[in-house]
């Protein structure tokens, strides 16, 4: 049995479906069983657990042989770094005594040591804590999620403008959730000793202008790319309902992406889902 943490989210559900397509048994972990209805229909089992309930999470891990670990994003209206670091501690503690033989962890391009830089520093800490415990731990660092653009479709439909924190011509590695699911499933099934850090992105790299054009063509809309200037990043996050702490962290992450440190690996594992293919799936939802 393969355990999939945060199994009803976009990436977690993609991992579960990739395992099921291979005929492998999968249990998705969720806080609300109703969210897993479609995965149950596809053949997955469901385990209800709060990620902070260490005893329950250890029990769930103990029912499996290997596990996919994803630290779910915290509500940006609170202190995202503090919440996500608490999740990391709970997950790692639950691994102790679980009996798992291998785990595969979701991380991010640009992961680095430090504080108050969102996923870059939280997931780097996650990687380090996994290395320090006894279960072999593989790490897949993901490029910028194509799904991050999906949340902006409502703004495009209402006002014809696509907000971007990146310059229009900025070339950015991106990846679709399905490709992350396939990459994680492959590593869950690979030998125990396959534990290096791998980078996963889509078949090509894209710009925000490419995203605007793909949305325009797919939905038949006129789309204007609206680039948020760097000096307005933090205030824009605040206007979107982010806490002061979260706005600072997300602005730091955005700067790291633009500056490119750790975001342009030479030999990534490449998925098959193009940006236009992914945008096309949103038109069918």
Q: For 99-146, how does the pLDDT look when each residue is reduced to its tens digit (9 = 90+)?
A: 999 999 999 999 999 989 999 999 999 999 999 999 999 999 999 999
Strand partners, 188: none
Pairing of strands 26-30, 45-48: parallel
- Alpha helices by DSSP H, 160-203: 177-189
What value does the mean pLDDT take over residues 37-54?
95
CB-based contacts of 94, cutoff 8 Å, min separation 6: 54, 55, 57, 58, 61
Do residues 52 and 35 make contact, with C-beta atoms less than 8 angstroms apart?
A: no
> Residue 162: its pLDDT value, please?
94
Rounded to whole angstroms, how far apart are CA atoms 223 and 242? 26
Tens-place pLDDT, residues 234-280: 999 999 999 999 999 999 999 999 998 667 888 899 999 999 999 99
Where in the chain does DSSP place strands (E)?
A: 2-4, 26-30, 45-48, 66-69, 102-108, 137-142, 144-145, 161-164, 172-175, 197-201, 205-206, 224-227, 269-270
Hey, where are the domains in the chain? 2-144+176-201+267-272
Work out whether the CA dihedral 223, 228, 234, 236 comes out positive or negative. Answer: negative
pTM: 0.95
DSSP state of 201: E
Tens-place pLDDT, residues 136-179: 999 999 999 999 999 888 889 888 999 999 999 999 999 999 99
Q: Count how many residues are written for the chain.
A: 285
Topology of 2-144+176-201+267-272 in CATH? Rossmann fold (3.40.50)
Dihedral (Cα; 15, 16, 18, 20), 10-degree rounding? 170
> Residue 260: its pLDDT value, please?
82
Tens-place pLDDT, residues 196-234: 999 999 999 999 999 999 999 999 999 999 999 999 999
């Amino acid at each position: 049995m393969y355990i999939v943490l945060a199994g009803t989210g976009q990436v977690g559900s993609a991992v579960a479906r990739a395992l099921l397509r291979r005929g492998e048994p999968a249990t998705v972990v969720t806080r609300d069983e109703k969210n897993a209805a479609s995965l149950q229909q596809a053949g997955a089992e469901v385990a209800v657990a709060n990620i902070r309930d260490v005893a329950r999470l250890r029990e769930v891990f103990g029912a499996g042989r290997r596990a996919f670990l994803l630290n779910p994003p915290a509500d940006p209206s609170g202190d995202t770094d503090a919440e996500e670091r608490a999740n990391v501690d709970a997950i790692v503690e639950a691994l102790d005594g679980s009996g798992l033989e291998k785990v595969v962890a979701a991380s991010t391009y640009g992961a680095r040591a430090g504080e108050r830089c969102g996923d870059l520093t939280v997931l780097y800490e996650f990687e380090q804590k996994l290395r320090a415990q006894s279960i072999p731990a593989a790490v897949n660092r993901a490029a910028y999620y194509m799904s991050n653009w999906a949340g902006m479709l409502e703004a495009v439909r209402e006002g014809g403008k696509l907000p971007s924190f990146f310059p229009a011509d900025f070339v950015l590695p991106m990846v679709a959730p399905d490709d992350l699911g396939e990459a994680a499933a492959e590593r869950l099934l690979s030998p125990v000793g396959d534990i290096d850090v791998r980078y996963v992105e889509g078949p090509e790299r894209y710009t925000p202008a490419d995203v605007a054009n793909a949305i325009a063509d797919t939905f038949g809309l006129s789309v204007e790319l609206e680039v948020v200037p760097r000096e307005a990043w933090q205030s824009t996050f605040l206007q979107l309902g982010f806490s002061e702490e979260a706005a600072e962290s997300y602005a730091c992450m955005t700067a790291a992406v633009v500056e490119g440190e750790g975001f342009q690996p030479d030999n990534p594992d490449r998925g098959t889902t193009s940006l236009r293919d992914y945008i096309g799936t949103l038109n069918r939802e």
